[in-house]
Homo-oligomer: A and B are copies of this chain.
Amino acid sequence: MTAQPHRITVIPGDGVGPEVVRSAQRIIAAAGVAVDWEEAEAGAEVFKRGDTSGVPRETRASIERTRVVLKGPLETPVGFGEKSANVTLRKLFETYANVRPARELPGVPTRYAGEGVDMIIVRENIEDLYAGIEHMQTPDVAQCLKVITRKGSEKIIRYAFELARREGRAKVTCATKANIMKLTEGLFKRTFEQLSVEYPEITAEHLIIDNVAHQMAKNPVQFDVVVTTNLNGDIISDLASGLVGGLGFAPSGNYGDGVAIFEAVHGSAPKYAGKDVINPTALILSSLMMLRHIGETAAAAAIEDAVLVTLEEGKAVTQDLARQTGGDVEHAASTTGFSDSIIANLGRRPATVPSRADATPPASPATRRPSWAYGPEVSAAVERRTIGADIFLESWAAPGEAGPALAALAGDVLLLQMVDSRGTMVFPDTGLNPDAVGVLRARFVAREDGVAVSDADIAGLLGRVGERFAWTHVEKLHVFAGEPSYTKAQGQ
């Protein structure tokens, strides 16, 4: 209980959003936490009024004041917005850490019940393929940039280790595809290895992402905290939710340097809207993450216990659960009734699962700025030179024709090192004969080892190549700190 009420922005959202949000608000009030809610709008109605972001200026202003958001699901009506308002909110406030606990709950029947699944997926939320940078190279060849930065990696990995430390968790697993993507996923893995030494009390392990998915199905209790890149995290956090009862029980928090947004993972479920039947557990569990974030750990533990008691006793069971357990769907608890039961159970402790009331984690804010140095001076200190360029061409020419033609265009400073198709070298001939798709990459490097190639050299090359071929995309080949900073083609 606090003297000063907390100011929190609440976005009821679309569909069942208002019902699950009201449910959480009532329970928080019953637990004695004083909140000055700033109600704000986002989602379907906003889009329909012509705001293509789905997030009005007043809502942004409220969040800038309160720094904490509890929100229901938002819809992006077809034909109104190009980007989801949920995603826009995360981008607006750069909530880089998507935290998805997946914990076994009593009374929720799953194939893994009784095993004690209790893991937290920490997903990078800003970069990777979700930067959404796509270019058609030809009418039939699409490209998306997967971008992984050291700074972005440090922030999320540090976040995961700090979370593990704060919650007394023993292990952090890093999940990547670094064996295939040595530069991007490899950067994430190497950053993890470097940071892990700062957390000697925590076991740090790396697993390949496909093995993580395999192990989650086979033996999920081995996982504690899992930190991973954006797309990997998207997939395995939904997988993890599936192990412990599905999206109806899946809370989430999005943490940035200043702002945190708490929401259920499920959608707006319009067909249940306004019927007082939806299971509000996911949003209630999300609100517990919020209470811990603002320092109301005792209230969070009390509500958590009351939720656990309600689920384990099974007296108030919402329709979705009744359906799964073969219970009486017709006489199932309403959203309101289920919430009333939780309120009635405040002060009780669960009988079959441990309470977290006695293991209250410290309330320190979860976010921590990167502690490594970044910036122009740091970048400038890295010894570097450009040693060539990759030019991507729209071309159906046979490698035996394209190769010599490109080699003849290389000029005095550069030479053609190889030509590939979708990453497999086709010139010089290696006996490989991959199916042509209409794009070739020509790699040109300095004729003399160690010589730096200038912008003028590359411009000249582009001009010569452009007279015979339609180029679409150019990458400089850098050597940073003496290391070639690009990958070889298959067969090269």
Contact = CB atoms under 8 A, between A and B. Distances in A.
Interface of A: 53, 60, 82-83, 87-88, 91-92, 94, 96, 111-112, 126-127, 129-152, 155, 177, 180-187, 209-211, 213-218, 231-232, 234-239, 241-243, 246-247, 257, 374-376, 379, 382, 384, 390, 394, 396, 422-424, 431-435, 437-439, 441, 455, 459, 462-463, 466, 471-478, 480-481, 485-491
A139 B474 CA distance: 18
A139 B432 contact: no
A150 B140 contact: yes
B431 A60 contact: yes
A95 to B, nearest CB: 11
A375 B396 contact: yes
Among A142, A246, A384, A394, the most chain B Cβ lie within 10 Å of the Cβ of A142
A485 B134 CA distance: 8
Contacts of A135: 183, 390, 475-478, 485-487
B133 A91 contact: no
A455 B459 contact: no
Total copies of the chain: 2
Contacts of A132: 180-181, 423, 487, 489-490
Contacts of A83: 490
Given A139-B480, A213-B213, A214-B239, A491 B91 contact: yes
Contacts of A437: 127, 149, 151-152, 374
Contacts of A146: 129, 143-146
A486 to B, nearest CB: 5
A423 B481 contact: no
Nearest to A177: B231
A476 B473 contact: yes
Nearest to A477: B135
Contact of A379 (B138, B177, B215, B390): B138
A185 to B, nearest CB: 8
Contacts of A463: 455, 459
A142 B379 contact: no
Nearest to A90: B490
B141 A147 contact: yes
9 contacts: A131-B422, A132-B181, A134-B184, A135-B476, A136-B183, A138-B379, A140-B149, A140-B150, A216-B217
